[in-house]
Amino acid sequence: MKPLSVDAYVNTRVPAKFRPIVAKIRAFMKEYATKAPEIMSYGMPCYRARYIVAYIVPNQKGITFGFVRGKQMKDEYGLLQGTAKSSRYLRFRSRPTVKGDDPALLRQTSPGARREVGGRSTKYNNRTYSTRGGCPSVCA
């Protein structure tokens, strides 16, 4: 069986109501994480620099956008969830809206939204990881 491309994965495995969320995440990562190309790894879309930086996991209830070393990121606004040893994640359960054309302004604005995404960065292994809008970009 031939492995799926990311586009094929999104079209076949992501519920239709959550595809706009995945499209916004992918657009944001393409623009801001230029040194972490999109690949399929472990059966899901991932972003890899020297190691996997972030991943997207869809399910019937929403989209999980995870960061492999999320614990090392500054989380001034308390957006990152999870209690694992090193990873953290954002969970999107409703369709986000984008104010303007900039995907960095990705916000949950549905009635059940509890959190708003803000920008920040942290250093780890002499690299800066910026999480503008909650999404990491790897800067040399």
CB-side neighbour CA atoms (13 Å) of 21: 25
Which domains does the chain show, CATH number per domain?
6-139 (3.90.1150)
Average pLDDT estimate for 59-66: 92
* pLDDT value at 70 more than 80: yes
Spatial distance between the Cα atoms of 106 and 117, rounded to a whole number of angstroms = 7
pLDDT-derived band at 103, boundaries 50, 70, 90: very low
CB atoms within 10 A of CB 118: 14
Spatial distance between the Cα atoms of 118 and 100, rounded to a whole number of angstroms = 16
Spatial distance between the Cα atoms of 127 and 60, rounded to a whole number of angstroms = 35
Contacts 24+ apart (CB under 8 A), 77-83: 77/115, 77/116, 77/117, 77/118, 77/120, 78/115, 79/115, 79/117, 79/118, 79/134, 80/134
* pLDDT value at 107 more than 50: no
User: What pLDDT sits at residue 113?
Assistant: 32
Regarding pTM above 0.95, the answer is no
How do residues 31-56 score in pLDDT, each as one tens digit?
999 999 999 999 999 999 999 999 99
CB distance 117 to 75 below 8 Å: no
